[in-house]
Structure formats: C-alpha cells, structure tokens
Amino acid sequence: MADACSKLSSVSSIRVVLLAGVGLVGGSAAADGGCPDGMASVGGRFCIDRWEASLVLVDDQGHELGPHSPFEVATGDVEVAARTRPGVHPQAHVSARVAARACERAGKRLCSKDEWLAACRGRQPTRYPYGVKHRPGYCNDDGVSPIGILRGARAGGLDYAALNDKRLNQVPGSLARTGTFNRCQNEYGVSDMVGNLHEWTAEGGGVFRGGFYLDTRSLGEGCDYNTHGHDLDYRDYSTGFRCCADP
C-alpha cells in the first residue's frame, strides 16, 4: 500500500511539472516570465505568440474595429494589428511587410531567426517541436491540396491571383484552426510552429519558416524548414506569421 501511494505521488508530481512547463492557456504574465497574455516566455529571454497570428482592423489610434478575414488578402491598404488566439483560423495571404506592421501595431515585432528557432526546437533542442523524429498526425503537415481540389488539371502555371484565391484555405482538410493539433508543441506551449502556415521572420532576404499544411520536409525538416528569396511584399495562401516581444 505504501509503495502504491508513493507511485501515485510521483506520477502526480510529474504531471504538475509537465503542466507548469507547458504554460497553460490563460496564465498570468507574471507566471510566464512577464510576457503578455497569449505569449510564452522562452527561457526568460523573449516572448513569442503561442498561436499563429490573426488580424483585426484598427483605426489610426489603434482601436480595434473588427476582425480581418483570414481568407482574404491582407493588402496593407487598411491598418491591421496582430492578435494571437486559440481556436481561430490564422491569417494567410499576408506579406512580410504587412506582418511586420501588424506586429508593431500590437506592440510586438516579427521574430528573428534565432528567436523563432529557439521557440520551435524547445529547451532540449529537437528537429520537431515534439521530438527528434517526424510523427504523422502530430502537426498539420499532411493536409489536402486545395488547388488540386478546386482547379484539378488546371493547377499548373498558377498566377498570383490564383495563389490568393480566398476559397483555398476554406477547403476541408487544409488550414486548421490554431491549436487544433494539440500535440504540435513543446514545453514552451507554443503551437503549430511546424505546419499549418509558413511563418515570416525578420530575416533579410524574405524568409519564412516551419512549412505549411502540405509540406514541412522538402526545404529542411520540421523546425529547420525555411524558404528564402521572396520579395517582402510576396503573399499567398500558405504565408502566415507570429510575433515576438521583449519580456
């Protein structure tokens, strides 16, 4: 009986440690390294959005006017601010330039390469947020091709407009709501850094990282996936972002 109680106590202690390491949704800023709500502390060095960013429309004073559709192009013709929320479709069709401005409007910034990689790899760095090897179904990295479904044999030679068709990420099995793949995170409690949407970073040369729901392996695996050489105004149905900030 004493041994059984001892084992139960040990299991309970492990669960408490694990939950504390993940950083539960809704935790206070003081409990998460001084980070704002919706952000996770990475070793006390910086804060990062727990979920891929969505956008809201704001006025000249930064007051929120309403949501921006995640399926519509974020053109930069209207002022938007970044938000990080669970259970919503994150903003796609966004350029690096608009993403950086949206982070600034939220009092944050686009993450640097080193910040992004540190948050993705975890305290004990691994190739995927959840471990060393790829695990099917852990992240949204094996979705359906909405272009193939909507355009079929006409999918070749797509132009800019076709890649920003608002119907694409509304096809079932494509873009997932933030946090849906709840095993796609590490002990920092940051979700979807691999798969779902590419994420712009503040690197020069137009870089987005992490892959998206159709590919997280062709240009580096998992956290190492990166795409270079895009114009800062480039956007398509796969491009998203998240923000970082100082504690």
| Alpha-carbon gap, residue 196 to 206, rounded angstroms | 19
pLDDT value at residue 128:
97
pLDDT value at residue 59:
92
Average pLDDT over residues 225-229: 93
pLDDT value at residue 13:
32
Share of the chain above pLDDT 90, in %: 77
Task: Tell whether the model's pLDDT for residue 246 goes beyond 80.
Answer: yes
Cβ–Cβ under 8 Å, residues 116 and 122: no
pLDDT value at residue 7:
37
pLDDT value at residue 152:
77
The helix or strand, by DSSP H or E, that contains position 149, with its residue range, turns out to be helix 146-151
In sequence order, the β-bridge partners of residue 114 are none
* Domain assignment of residue 49, yes or no: yes
Task: Let me know if 205 is exposed, middle or buried by CB neighbors in 10 A (0-12, 13-18, 19+).
Answer: exposed
pLDDT value at residue 27:
38
Domain count, the chain: 1
Task: Tell whether the model's pLDDT for residue 212 goes beyond 60.
Answer: yes
Average pLDDT over residues 16-40: 55
118-145 confidence digits (pLDDT tens): 999 999 999 999 999 999 999 999 999 9
* Domain assignment of residue 12, yes or no: no
Tell me the DSSP string of 41-106. EETTTEEEESS-EEEEEE-TT--EEEEPPTTS---SSS-EEEEE-TTSPPP-S--HHHHHHHHHHT
* Domain assignment of residue 10, yes or no: no
pLDDT value at residue 157:
62
* Domain assignment of residue 26, yes or no: no
* Domain assignment of residue 23, yes or no: no
Per-residue HEC secondary structure of 152-194 comes to HHHHCCCCHHHHCCCCHHHCCCCCCCCCCCCCCCCCCCCCCCC
Instruction: Give the domain extent around 201.
Output: 31-245
The chain-wide mean pLDDT, for the chain, equals: 87
pLDDT value at residue 153:
55
* Domain assignment of residue 17, yes or no: no
Task: Tell whether the model's pLDDT for residue 209 goes beyond 80.
Answer: yes
Share of the chain above pLDDT 70, in %: 85
Confidence of residue 60 (pLDDT cuts 50, 70, 90): confident
Cβ–Cβ under 8 Å, residues 58 and 64: yes
* Domain assignment of residue 1, yes or no: no
Task: Tell whether the model's pLDDT for residue 29 goes beyond 70.
Answer: no
> What token pair was written down for 24?
């539960």
82-102 confidence digits (pLDDT tens): 999 999 999 999 999 999 999
Task: Let me know if 81 is exposed, middle or buried by CB neighbors in 10 A (0-12, 13-18, 19+).
Answer: buried
In 3D, which of 121, 143, 119 has the Cα closest to residue 216? Answer: 143
Q: Looking at residue 232, which CATH number applies to its domain?
A: 3.90.1580.10
Task: Tell whether the model's pLDDT for residue 154 goes beyond 90.
Answer: no
* Domain assignment of residue 168, yes or no: yes
In sequence order, the β-bridge partners of residue 109 are 244
